[in-house]
Amino acid sequence: MALVPDHEDFFSRRCVWVNGPIIVGAGPSGLAVGACFKDHGVPFVILERSDCIASLWQKRTYDRLKLHLPKQFCELPKVPFPDDFPEYPTRKQFIDYLESYARRFDLQPRFNEAVQSAKYDETCGLWRVRTASASAAGVAPAEVEYICRWLVVATGENAETVVPDMEGIEEFGGQVIHACDYKSGEVYRGKRVLVVGCGNSGMEVCLDLTHHDAFPSMVVRDSVHVLPREVLGKSTFELAVLLLRWLPLWLVDKILLVLSWLVLGNLEKYGIKRPAVGPLELKNTEGKTPVLDIGALGKIRSGDIKVVPGIKQFTRGKVELVDGRAIDVDAVILATGYRSNVCSWLQDSDFFSKNGFPRQPFPHGWKGSSGLYAVGFTRRGLSGASLDATRIADDISRVWREETKQAKQFIAFHRRCISQI
């Protein structure tokens, strides 16, 4: 019987039956689904590879980070941000909000449990989810196999860093880090820093560097949409959401571009070209997020941030650019983005495509077959995750009581071989 692990596995790996869904990931998305399950009275387990909730926010973001979107677009289901929070909460405030959210719903993820694989077992109609826990040096990691009826993937769009291959980087000699390890420009004071990438991270890291008297050069290898964070005191994002209620996307894109031109002017003379496709369409089709400017453009105009084209190669203490120039550089920060890691552990699933995102675009990418769900892969930030979370919890809770009633007799037979949570 497939529910019982094979002989060798049985002795090397603990096996745990979960009477309800498993949620993989304790970021905002995983917490949001957990809170909704609590509301429905559905038991569940959250597995988290890190040792805290919202590890992206706690461990892999910089000090000066603030939410880019107004707070009403970033709150999780059932709990608005406190009234005394500013319109754009700081990283610290957002983390406080998430901590109190987890406490309020008594969410207790199993920390230090990285999911290594998850596979649907056709024979018994259940998911087998294998984890490895962090352990002391020299000791083999503890392995557990969880078995459950529903699997909710909440590992995020930004689970792993993108680190491009760059010719000569091993000869460069200076410090090279990814933006996820950047905390503040303090340690770069007086240094010439090459920031590779011009997304929101690249722009904001450059801005922070200028605040610490460093000398950033930002690599813009292609085109990018930069929009003002606000137009006439109104959030650009909010404006786009409002306009999309009445107007087609292409027209909203045109309006956003005209407004951006009026507020920011022509950016080409600073080396920033706009893509031919509009910002919302580009986000929908290619997942490229427009930059919401919070001050970097001003520093580009003043020359405090230099814009440089793509990289040809690194040499000792220098970078050669595709336009033939070579500039001296003390350190490199790769603001080259992130990627999903789902395909590295979720097995045999057609629901996700090779890039680790659901094949079905928003709003259809939250539910697969065989009890598989995805939350937080909408490319619509926290508001998209909240929407997914509510749908998933409603859907599973509807069938949970019925399914568990039927499964009870079947499972009772096997409980002598497996422990229960």
Ligand X SMILES: NC(=O)c1ccc[n+]([C@@H]2O[C@H](COP(=O)([O-])OP(=O)(O)OC[C@H]3O[C@@H](n4cnc5c(N)ncnc54)[C@H](OP(=O)(O)O)[C@@H]3O)[C@@H](O)[C@H]2O)c1
> Under the criterion CB under 6 A, does residue 29 sit at the interface with ligand FAD?
yes
Rounded Cα distance between 393 and 400, Å, is 10
Give me the least distance between CB of 228 and ligand FAD, in Å please: 16
34, 70, 156, 202: which one binds ligand FAD (CB under 6 A): 156
120, 376, 396, 418: which one binds ligand FAD (CB under 6 A): 376
Q: 99, 111, 107, 102: which is closest to 49 by C-alpha?
A: 111
28, 70, 337, 371: which one binds ligand X (CB under 6 A): 337
How many residues of this chain interact with ligand X, rule: CB under 6 A?
A: 27
Give me the least distance between CB of 389 and ligand X, in Å please: 18
Write the binding mask 364 to 403 for ligand X: x where contact by CB under 6 A, - elsewhere.
----------------------------------------
Start-to-end C-alpha separation, the chain: 21
Take residue 71 and report the two structure tokens written for it.
Answer: 């707070």
* Cβ atoms within 10 Å, residue 301: 14
Take residue 63 and report the two structure tokens written for it.
Answer: 């000090």
Write the binding mask 279 to 318 for ligand FAD: x where contact by CB under 6 A, - elsewhere.
----------------------------------------
Place of tokens 């979720």: 346
Write the binding mask 124 to 143 for ligand X: x where contact by CB under 6 A, - elsewhere.
--------------------
Write the binding mask 200 to 219 for ligand X: x where contact by CB under 6 A, - elsewhere.
xxx-x--------------x
How many residues of this chain interact with ligand FAD, rule: CB under 6 A?
A: 36
Residues shown for the chain: 421
What is the 8-class DSSP label of residue 241? Answer: H
One-letter identity of residue 90? T
Q: 277, 407, 298: which is closest to 17 by C-alpha?
A: 407
Pair 168, 41: CB distance under 8 Å: no
Give me the least distance between CB of 178 and ligand FAD, in Å please: 11
> For ligand X, which is the closer residue by CB, 212 or 312?
312
> Which of the ranges 19-27, 100-108, 215-223, 244-252 carries the binding residues for ligand FAD, by CB under 6 A?
19-27
Rounded Cα distance between 18 and 367, Å, is 20
Rounded Cα distance between 178 and 81, Å, is 31
Rounded Cα distance between 394 and 390, Å, is 6
Q: 384, 280, 292, 289: which is closest to 337 by C-alpha?
A: 289
> Under the criterion CB under 6 A, does residue 356 sit at the interface with ligand FAD?
no
Phi and psi at 118, nearest 5°, equal -140, 130
Interacting residues toward ligand X by CB under 6 A: 65-68, 158, 164, 179, 196-202, 204, 219, 221-222, 224, 288-289, 310-311, 335-338
Interacting residues toward ligand FAD by CB under 6 A: 24-30, 47-50, 54-56, 61, 65, 67-69, 74, 114-115, 154-159, 201, 338, 341, 345, 376, 381-382, 385
